[in-house]
Amino acid sequence: MTDLFAILDEDHSRRLSTSALEAAAAAGASHTQVRVESIRSQDVGLRDAELETSSDSTEFGVGVRVLVDGVFGFAATVEREVDDIANLARRAVATARAVARAQRRAVELAAEPNHGEVRWSSPYRIDPTLVSLAEKVELLGRWSRQILEVEGIAHVSANVLCVSEEKHYADSSGTTAFQRRVRLHPAVEAIATHEKAGFESMRTVAPPVGRGWEYLLGEGWDFEAELAQLPANLLEKLHSPSVEAGRYDLVVDPTNLWLTIHESIGHATELDRALGYEAAYAGTSFATPDKLGTLKYGSSVMNVTGDRTAEFGLATTAIDDEGVEGQSFDLIRDGVLVGYQLDRATASVAGRDRSNGCAFADSPLHVPIQRMANVSLQPAPGDGPSTEELIARVDRGIYVVGDKSWSIDMQRYNFQFTGQRFYRIENGALVGQLRDVAYQATTTDFWGAMEAVGGRQTYLLAGAFNCGKGQPGQVAPVSHGCPSALIREVSILNARSEGGR
């Protein structure tokens, strides 16, 4: 097999992890997890077709987490000599001993089998971090100029974030993994101004994905088609009427619905939040463990899974940062809360036999915390309806496309979302755009009013590149798959008059 890594040396990484595992065991650790990582991140941004931002950074480090008499200890370094790493492991053990007095309850890790040696890479053909800056600027410049040429367009910004992550994981149970994750997020936003109509902006709805540079060349998304439509869509929106507040039936496109899933389901079903362990950074959840198996989260067509296995998923991986195999599991079945996202320590608190693989650190220098799997709403089984068929069922409503701003309370219950485009639906047909639309609901009312989900043909894997959690804060990429959905009688606000403009 050819080398999986472009930056890390596999043999040297293995020497470092072996040294850490031996030193930690000798110092008294009952369990040890080691990560040797290199994360290369790039950001290229153009404004009005001129290069404005360019960064290219590589983070290298080694993190060692140990369990000593039921207490976690963690230490990390950017050193890369074998002797340094043995010392690092001893420091992790000393840290566990130092914090032992402050800990009330012993940490227990849910069992996980030894997976031997695992080699895994996310699917990609062209590592985007190896594409030259000139080529990136050339492509984004061409996209920008094509939009700027259209009369009425005032400004265009275009950028692409690219990450290539190489991770060697090893633990004292015998699991060893070499994994590579590649991902990217391109976005183009245009601004139009008009003397009377004011100004509007519109961004592409192409999602971030776990793919290579080929994504920008048309594999998995038709950028040419989206960019060709963008100016006309934006100019139409600029001259559209402002929405009249009230209750409307909504058909929500997956390019918008993924974010509502992320905020109101993804975060709410993180067990550390639900247990109250994670409260500081917009934490906690209304979906507390006493409601497991009974909480009516939504209507009977609502089925939500968490998974670390989806092809091109941003949170997809073979082995998580605690040596747990990537899995797929139910969170909501027929509208009822049936599961949580777990790491090994919270799985044990909840009396589960096994974690479902949701431990992740955003850096070798950070401790793994419970992070989101790809949390996805399942499409209708069999021959489910198309988006057009869902729209045809609505007499008076709004079709919502693309995500924009949002807000939700800490318990993940009261929310408000806007979008990129809103089409008025009249008697089952789209009749032009609206401006200033925001939809507002509580989590259980919104999902409870979901009358139908679209079929497999409407399903899209969208997601976020940088979901924030924890204190100190960490970021994580995550995908959310979903179909289009028909939701009845949702409260619509006029965002402009709410904002006092």
Q: What residue ranges bind Zn ion (CB under 5 A)?
A: 467
Placement of tokens 């594409």 in the chain: 131
Toward Zn ion, which CB reaches closer, 5 or 406? 406
Toward Zn ion, which CB reaches closer, 283 or 454? 283
Placement of tokens 């650190």 in the chain: 361
C-alpha 78/C-alpha 68 separation (Å) is 24
Q: Smallest distance, Å, CB 267 to Zn ion?
A: 6
Toward Zn ion, which CB reaches closer, 30 or 363? 363
Q: Smallest distance, Å, CB 421 to Zn ion?
A: 23
Question: What is the signed CA dihedral for 296, 302, 305, 309, rounded to 10 degrees?
Answer: -170
C-alpha 143/C-alpha 187 separation (Å) is 11
Toward Zn ion, which CB reaches closer, 380 or 467? 467
Backbone angles phi, psi at 488, to 5 degrees: -90, 140
C-alpha 117/C-alpha 122 separation (Å) is 17
Toward Zn ion, which CB reaches closer, 268 or 493? 268
Note the helical H segments in 102-176. Answer: 133-148
Q: Smallest distance, Å, CB 345 to Zn ion?
A: 21
Q: Smallest distance, Å, CB 418 to Zn ion?
A: 17
End-to-end CA distance of the chain: 61
Q: Smallest distance, Å, CB 201 to Zn ion?
A: 23
C-alpha 198/C-alpha 242 separation (Å) is 12
Nearest by Cα to 243 from 398, 15, 36 = 398
183-219 b/e (C-beta count within 10 Å ≥ 16 → b): bbbbbbbbebeeeeeeebbbbbbbbbbbbbbebbeee
Toward Zn ion, which CB reaches closer, 206 or 259? 259
Q: Smallest distance, Å, CB 483 to Zn ion?
A: 21
Cis upstream peptide for 379 (omega within 30°):
no
Q: Smallest distance, Å, CB 412 to Zn ion?
A: 10
Toward Zn ion, which CB reaches closer, 319 or 467? 467
* Residue 23: HSE in the Cβ half-sphere, 13 Å Cα cutoff: 22
Q: Smallest distance, Å, CB 262 to Zn ion?
A: 6
Task: Give, in order, the Cα–Cα distances in Å from 448 to each of 270, 300, 336, 389.
Answer: 21, 8, 10, 20
| Residue 464 structure tokens | 């976020």
Toward Zn ion, which CB reaches closer, 168 or 412? 412
Nearest-CB residue for Zn ion: 467
Q: Smallest distance, Å, CB 286 to Zn ion?
A: 16
Question: Three-class SS of residue 488?
Answer: strand
C-alpha 431/C-alpha 234 separation (Å) is 16
C-alpha 437/C-alpha 200 separation (Å) is 13
Q: Smallest distance, Å, CB 214 to Zn ion?
A: 27
Toward Zn ion, which CB reaches closer, 248 or 258? 258
Toward Zn ion, which CB reaches closer, 460 or 476? 476
C-alpha 346/C-alpha 276 separation (Å) is 11
Question: Three-class SS of residue 32?
Answer: strand
Question: Three-class SS of residue 271?
Answer: helix
